[in-house]
Amino acid sequence: MSTENHEDLPRRSVLKEAAIGGIGLVAGTVVTGSGSERACAAIEQVTEKATWLAERASCVSGNRLLGPDSAGPVVTKAREIFLPRSAQEIADLVRSLPAETPIASVCGGHESSNAAAVASDGAVIFDMAHLKSIEFHEEGGRALVTVGGGVVFRELVEAVKERKGALPVGTGPGVGVVGYVVNGGLSGYFSRRLGLLGQCVTRLTVVTAAGEIRVLTPDDELFTAMLGAGSALGIVVDLTLEMEPESVVRGAEQRVISFETRDQAVAFAREALRFQADHVLPDEGVAMELVVTGTKALVATFVFYDTFRGSIAELVAPLEALAQRLELPVVASSHLSSWYETAAALWPVINAMKGSPLAMLQHCMGTEGPPTDAILRFLCDTVVAEAPLDEATFSIVEIRTLGGAAMAKKPLPSGNCRHRFFLDLITMYDAKEKTPAERREIADMTRSVVEKARGVEGLAVDFSGTHSQPDDPGSAVSPALIFGSEAMAEMVREQKKRVDPGNRFRFHPYAKFL
């Protein structure tokens, strides 16, 4: 039991408050283990549960804003929220709770359905916010970084920059590294060259449902299962990632083109996606993303890797020519000259998306091979044309290339390593500006597009743990799609039975079928 280093101010004040309030030494302030005979050290606990969710969750599910309780703020249902500081504290706490107590873990708080942050009556949340360590080391010539369970991308990217490294990180500065990895996170910018971030993991420290601390390596079956379904299987205390040198990413070119009518956006998307399919998908030295935004911008980003052999100017020129032909102004041109600049490119845009609360619905769709003409037509004429971009102006449609290293490296239980091409439909709006009827209309428009996508031959819908909205009423999410194959889904089910037979870890995107 590690009791040193815990004489910190916040915890002392929690103890003091408990004493002042006459609460005494209740479970959660000082925990006496029922599984273990020892008393745990006092573990910091959230005292203001009502404000905790507003501060910790970056968004609120658009579906939660439709229900009967939607008039008031969305609040956590959890009985208690702890802020542990070590693997030992987590293990002691898990063992001290009754075996049937459900447990949720929160890292960056960006999961769009808030499954973990809202949890349920009687549940206990472990907020990993204090586990902020980032340690670099070398092993057999490999550059490694061990990241604590509460680290978010901004912190990791800034630290990796200093070491001149590169990792396939996600775009959101506040997204949790562990929350991303355990749900099959992918990087539209970097995964074609570096794989999924989960494919860079070499070691995991995990606390199991029985309260054991386990260090997992690739030889353990649970190791692989954690890198796609981890939020249903255990609590990650830290993970170790193998970095690549920053030189694997040469940089990126970004063009922002403004449009006025949706027809213009559709017309641009049609030709840009044809160009993407013909010239970018066959070349694994480059990634391309086209984003159509509710603020009436088309953002085309090309990321060039060390393996790119062509001319950067020649690849970008046709998109600029397309904008000119359609008489759409290029309002910004950026040249990003490193992995770091590319990784951080969207931080200011994402930070500007605020709401009270910020409502979100997330869906993805994609193909395992190159998209057919019919699929490209559907994405432009239905998804880009009908997504609620005007009604929910923070919304974006992101159309991205994948495949490459994500497909070539060892498969993980994630649909993300099977797809070569995909689209994220992210519906976002500031809820305080919308009436209940308007919120309903936005959700219905989103659902209508997604339901139409389910009927398109060759188009997989909601295959990603990070980009799928598990709380859509009646949505048919398929385990084989989410985990990449029926065999992977079976492996995950098997591990779930073995390591969490009581389903303590039930607040995750796969709750419907695990």
Ligand X SMILES: Cc1cc2nc3c(=O)[nH]c(=O)nc-3n(C[C@H](O)[C@H](O)[C@H](O)COP(=O)(O)OP(=O)(O)OC[C@H]3O[C@@H](n4cnc5c(N)ncnc54)[C@H](O)[C@@H]3O)c2cc1C
Q: Which residues are near ligand X by CB under 6 A?
A: 58-59, 104-112, 115-117, 128, 149, 170-172, 175-176, 178-180, 182-183, 185-187, 230-231, 235-236, 350, 466-467, 507-508
What distance in Å separates the CA atoms of residue 287 and residue 280, rounded to the nearest whole number?
7
Cα angle 28, 33, 37 (rounded to 5 degrees) comes to 150
Cβ(251)–Cβ(337) below 8 Å: yes
CB of 185 to ligand X, least distance (A): 4
Classify 100 as helix, strand or coil: coil
The residue among 74 and 128 lying less far from ligand X, judged by its C-beta, is: 128
CB of 114 to ligand X, least distance (A): 7
Nearest to ligand X of 322, 339 (CB atom): 339
Rg (CA), the chain: 23
For ligand X, the nearest residue by Cβ is 179
Q: Which is nearer to ligand X, 237 or 384 (CB)?
A: 237
Give the whole-angstrom CA distance, residue 267 versus residue 494.
47
Tokens 């070349």 sit at which residue? Answer: 283
Indicate the helix (H) or strand (E) that contains 480.
helix 479-482
Rounded Cα distance, 114 and 111, in Å: 6
Minimum separation from the CB atom of position 358 to ligand X (A): 9
Which tokens go with 352?
Answer: 């500007």
Distance CA 210, CA 110 (A): 27
Min separation Cβ 495 and ligand X, Å? 14
Cβ proximity to ligand X: between 328 and 395 the closer is 395
For ligand X, the closer CB: 322 or 394: 394
What is the smallest separation between the CB atom of 16 and ligand X, expressed in angstroms? 28
User: Between residues 313 and 352, which has the closer beta carbon with respect to ligand X?
Assistant: 352
CA-to-CA distance for 284 and 303, rounded, in angstroms? 11
427 sits in which H/E element: strand 421-430
Of 171 and 276, which has the nearer Cβ to ligand X?
Answer: 171
Q: Is the peptide bond before 357 cis (omega within 30 degrees of 0)?
A: yes
Closest CB 327 distance from ligand X, rounded Å? 32
Asked if 273 and 290 touch (Cβ cutoff 8 Å), the reply is yes
In the bound state with ligand X, the residue whose beta carbon lies nearer, of 323 and 421, is: 421
Q: Residue 203 CB, nearest distance to ligand X (Å)? A: 15
Beta carbon of residue 285, minimum distance to ligand X (angstroms, whole number)? 21
Residue matched to tokens 């998307």: 269
Q: Where are the alpha helices (DSSP H) in 123-261?
A: 153-162, 177-181, 191-194, 221-229
Measured distance CA(104)–CA(505) in Å, rounded: 6
Closer to ligand X by Cβ: residue 208 or 367: 208
Strands 358-367 and 60-61, sheet pairing:
parallel
Tell me the closest approach of the beta carbon of residue 344 to ligand X, in angstroms: 13
Beta-strand pair 396-401/421-430: antiparallel
